[in-house]
Amino acid sequence: MSNFYSGQNGRLLINGTAAGKVTNWSFSSSMSPLSTTSLEDTDQTFMNGLRSLTGNASLYYYDTGGVSNTNSASTLIDKLIKTRTTADDAGKAAQAENVTLRLQVKEGNIVKQIEIDVLLTNATMNMAVGEVLSAQISFQANGAPTELSL
């Protein structure tokens, strides 16, 4: 029997903690082939080159009701955006932090996932009339995945 998966099987973990209110995640892995074509050839030949992996995720921004708001969208945004180290020096702030993401397909106790150490490359927040405030996060993997069981 074939099992198919949908959004309700998707889960995103940020540094090992399940993120809340995730509406989608996606990733794309690509490889740039190196041409080995020489002048005598009539057809292009290639060898494997460098791989890269990028992706993005969308999360709703919400209030947990406590003193410190720790929703997952703000967790990721805080990893990328940093305030000034000193108030009178506009050019200096802490470096962005890398994050370990696990993009999971979960059904019962069975979890298929890819775990990657990522650099957050973009964070966008959308506030619009008639829409729930959300954040879109883009990331670039730092090296190969640390775990892959998809």
Contact residues toward other proteins (CB under 8 A) are 34-41, 47, 49-50
From the CB of 96, what's the least distance to other proteins, in Å?
A: 28
Q: Which is nearer to other proteins, 9 or 29 (CB)?
A: 29
From the CB of 73, what's the least distance to other proteins, in Å?
A: 38
Q: Which is nearer to other proteins, 50 or 128 (CB)?
A: 50
> CB neighbours (10 Å) of residue 11?
16
Q: Which is nearer to other proteins, 39 or 127 (CB)?
A: 39
Find the farthest-apart pair of alpha carbons in the chain and give their distance in angstroms, rounded.
Answer: 70
From the CB of 39, what's the least distance to other proteins, in Å?
A: 3
How far are the Cα atoms of 13, 101, 146 from residue 106, in angstroms, in the given order?
A: 12, 15, 18
d(CA 11, CA 105): 6
DSSP state of 7: G
Q: Give the residue from 111, 98, 105, 104 showing the smallest Cα distance to 141.
A: 98
From the CB of 35, what's the least distance to other proteins, in Å?
A: 6
Q: Which is nearer to other proteins, 39 or 87 (CB)?
A: 39
